[in-house]
Amino acid sequence: MSNPIFPSSPASPTFKEALKEDRAQYDDCTPCRVIGTGAFIGLGAYTYISGHAQLRKQEALIRKSGSAFGMRSRGAALTGTAVICCGLGVYRWFV
């Protein structure tokens, strides 16, 4: 007996077929990966270089302020952010 509200649909693809279709539809081209990788690694390098330069420039003011976050923790935060950005660039290249 056919249901007028829900007409019969074609058979659903298997899981492997669905993954194959997904990969073909959403797989990135090589130039896209190169640009994305370069952007993230460049952002990481820029964050590290400019962040540490600004930190050295403001060192006296930071030490004078008596903040709970001193030079070491701020430097670690900058380095961590830069490493994460570079890691995202590597991830972007392979995935």
In a domain, residue 4? The reply is no
State yes or no: pLDDT of 91 exceeds 90. Answer: yes
pTM of the model: 0.69
For residue 92, the 8-state DSSP code is H
In a domain, residue 52? The reply is yes
In a domain, residue 5? The reply is no
In a domain, residue 50? The reply is yes
**Cα(24)–Cα(19) distance, rounded to whole angstroms?**
9
**Cα(87)–Cα(69) distance, rounded to whole angstroms?**
25
In a domain, residue 39? The reply is yes
State yes or no: pLDDT of 18 exceeds 80. Answer: yes
In a domain, residue 67? The reply is yes
Overall domain count for the chain: 1
In a domain, residue 13? The reply is no
State yes or no: pLDDT of 2 exceeds 60. Answer: no
Q: Single out the residue of 28, 26, 42 nearest to residue 89, CA to CA.
A: 42
| Full residue range of the structural domain in which residue 76 is found | 30-94
The residue to which tokens 């007028």 are assigned = 4
Looking at residue 3, what is its pLDDT? 59
Looking at residue 38, what is its pLDDT? 97
Burial label for 8, CB within 10 Å (0-12, 13-18, 19+), is exposed
Looking at residue 4, what is its pLDDT? 62
Looking at residue 7, what is its pLDDT? 64
